[in-house]
Amino acid sequence: MPIGFIKNSPKIAEPISLEGVVCAAMQGVNMTSNVTEANDAVWSSPVRVRVGYGFPETIRGPKEALEYLNWRWPVREGTYYIKALKECAACLQRKLPLENVRETFVLASIEAKMLN
């Protein structure tokens, strides 16, 4: 478990493992199928966020968004933060449309005051 995470805390979300998402998506799937396309999926328009006082950074799709939410997000609580975590993971499993997940990620960025 990463440093700084408190297990069973009601306010802190556990990170969602990207490896677990990929493994779940690949169960029973031919290795030459379109699974890699789901992992490389990009939004129609990237989302630009600013982490702390740093330069704006570009998030192009749900895979990058999930990595930011898990490892670079400054606030580990909030309605849209939790929703974005779940939706990015579901999108990588092809359970949700890309653009719906992008909208939720934008709302999470606004909630965390990170939207550039």
pLDDT, tens digit (0-9, with 9 covering 90-100), for 11-42: 555 565 555 544 443 344 333 333 445 567 89
CB contact set of 42 (below 8 Å; sequence gap of 6+)? 60, 61, 98
> Which pLDDT tens digit goes with each residue over 51-86?
888 899 999 999 999 999 999 999 999 999 999 999
pLDDT average, residue stretch 85-113: 96
Residues 25/36, Cβ–Cβ less than 8 Å: no
